[in-house]
Amino acid sequence: MIKLKSISKPQFLFRQISRQLWVRTSLIAALAVVSAGIGTYLGGFVPDFLTQRLSTEAVAKILGILASSMLAVTTFSLSIMVAAQRWASNQSSPRAQQVIEEDSVSQNVLATFLGAFIFALVSLILVETGVYTQQSIAVALAFTLVVIFLVTLALLLWIDQLPSYGSISETARKIEKNAKDTMARAMELPSLGAIPYQAAADVPQTGHDVRASSTGNVRHVDVGMLNSCAEENDCEIWIMALPGQFVTEGQPLARAARKMDGETIREAFVIGTERSFDQDPRFGIQTLSEIAQRALSPGINDPMTAIQMVERLLRVLLPLGSRPTQPADPQFQRIHAPEIAIDTFLRDAYAAISRDAGDKVEVHEAILSALTRLTQTQDGAMKTAARAAATQALTVAERDLRLETDKARVREIPNQVTVEPAT
């Protein structure tokens, strides 16, 4: 298994910044300034015959065409992105908008279009004002050809993505991938790589509490920073707010064994208005469940989408059933963090879908089939939690289903699912 490292606060912030559209746009637009800066130096290496064949007017005309066309394409692409975000938010989940906004393909495409427009506009100004000499105009043309190549490649990627962009299935696929990646990290680094504890009663009653200075969702916890702080002060720290938890101003974030600089500990917690997938394995599961709940609403009434979400959730949860019986030693020996119980994941995944399934027997069958499959994994905690969740789901199904034949169908589910032993 690949050893994963805990994400530090600088790494988390860098990820957040790199996902912003303006960063990628600025990199492409900066080519105009780069070409102007090195044009004078590279102009002497341009062959004379090429210099004589090129004219400033020809390069300016090419740049003008690129600028005007990229402005239209950028405006059109922005309208598509906005429409896709609204569609995904209305049809799947408002939380899905975050996945679409951070989609690397759409961001790269839009950044290329917008960056090409800014590049062409800046280069055109530099050409018309005489910054480029006759020898260096070839350098400007070379950079322009590179940008045109990038635009062509972006157009092909954009055309390939448009048919499924913003659809429920594609949005759910991206959320499932995020959920799987976060779950893999949570399995490799349980309790954020710290020493796990089960309940609030395990936290010492005496100690120094470090409280939140703002209200919002915990987006990230730099456990490495906390561990270094604990080592410097020769004590232990108990994390009391995991990523994804909503905290209010003054609520305890962590408890140190003795008094120390609270600001240093507080700096390890990133609090914002929105949750993040990076350290929050419950967020992806809850978002997929929310898509299923919305599909079951009377206004949409799409049980097949709900069944697909049940299956996606099963793919996310199955790896939990094959966890090693002897977990690896905690990476951070001076930090304690609460452990997310298996039944919490199962409740996030299926409880609300079961509640909203109503008299749709096919959805109840899918839920019970998924939970029964989870009872046949090798992990003891997963077996116990899945049996309890299946019992609860069966109780809800028998309460909501009207026909005795439908009730008989769901009662037979635990006896129908079998798993072949691995060879």
- C-alpha distances out from residue 141 to 34, 144, 171, 203, 386, Å: 13, 5, 40, 66, 64
Beta strands at 252-256 and 332-338: parallel, antiparallel or unpaired: unpaired
CATH code of the domain containing 209: 3.90.1170.30
Which tokens is 220 given?
Answer: 């990230």
Q: Please indicate, yes or no, if residue 387 is contained in any of the structural domains.
A: yes
Give me the domain span that covers residue 347.
177-182+281-329+339-416
Residue 114 binned pLDDT confidence (cut-offs 50, 70, 90): confident
- pLDDT score, position 327: 67
Return d(Cα 116, Cα 70) in angstroms, integer. 7
Lowest mean pLDDT: which of 15-29, 75-89, 286-300?
15-29
Q: Please indicate, yes or no, if residue 325 is contained in any of the structural domains.
A: yes
400 touches 368 (CB < 8 A): no
- Work out how many domains the chain is built from and give that number: 3
Q: Are residues 230 and 92 in the same domain?
A: no
Listed in sequence order, the residues at least 6 apart from 143 whose beta carbon sits closer than 8 Å to its beta carbon are: 31, 32, 34, 35, 119, 123
Q: Are residues 133 and 156 in the same domain?
A: yes
323 touches 210 (CB < 8 A): no
pLDDT digits (tens, 9 = 90+) for 169-211: 888 998 999 999 999 988 888 888 899 988 777 888 888 899 9
Q: Which of 272, 289, 315 is the last residue of a domain?
A: 272
Q: Are residues 311 and 376 in the same domain?
A: yes
Q: Are residues 295 and 266 in the same domain?
A: no
Closest by CA to 345, choosing from 413, 282, 418, is 282
Is 50 exceeded by the pLDDT of residue 25? yes
Q: Please indicate, yes or no, if residue 111 is contained in any of the structural domains.
A: yes
Q: Are residues 14 and 162 in the same domain?
A: yes
pTM, entire model: 0.82
268 touches 5 (CB < 8 A): no
Q: Please indicate, yes or no, if residue 4 is contained in any of the structural domains.
A: no
Q: Are residues 35 and 60 in the same domain?
A: yes
Q: Are residues 402 and 290 in the same domain?
A: yes
Q: Are residues 92 and 136 in the same domain?
A: yes
What is the side-by-side strand order in the sheet with 269-272? 246-247, 216-221, 269-272
What is the side-by-side strand order in the sheet with 208-211? 194-197, 332-338, 237-239, 252-256, 208-211
Q: Are residues 118 and 141 in the same domain?
A: yes
Q: Please indicate, yes or no, if residue 215 is contained in any of the structural domains.
A: yes
Return d(Cα 268, Cα 67) in angstroms, integer. 44
- How many other C-beta atoms can be found within 10 angstroms of the C-beta atom of residue 199? 9
Q: Are residues 286 and 199 in the same domain?
A: no
Which tokens is 135 given?
Answer: 């020898």
Return d(Cα 112, Cα 102) in angstroms, integer. 15
Range 126-141 burial, b when 16+ CB lie within 10 A, else e: bbeeeebeebbbbbbb
Return d(Cα 336, Cα 316) in angstroms, integer. 26
Q: Which of 249, 272, 295 is the last residue of a domain?
A: 272
- C-alpha distances out from residue 170 to 81, 162, 245, Å: 14, 11, 27
Q: What is the crossing angle of helices 361-374 and 380-400, to 10°?
A: 160
The most confident of the ranges 139-143, 166-170, 245-249 is 245-249
pLDDT digits (tens, 9 = 90+) for 205-250: 888 899 999 999 999 999 999 999 999 888 899 999 999 999 999 9
Q: Are residues 293 and 259 in the same domain?
A: no
Q: Please indicate, yes or no, if residue 55 is contained in any of the structural domains.
A: yes
Instruction: Specify burial of residue 268 (Cβ count, 10 A radius: 0-12, 13-18, 19+).
Output: buried
Q: Is 255 in a helix, a strand, or coil?
A: strand
Q: Please indicate, yes or no, if residue 211 is contained in any of the structural domains.
A: yes
Q: Are residues 227 and 87 in the same domain?
A: no
Q: Please indicate, yes or no, if residue 2 is contained in any of the structural domains.
A: no
Q: Using the 8-state DSSP alphabet, how is residue 44 labeled?
A: G
Is 80 exceeded by the pLDDT of residue 29? no
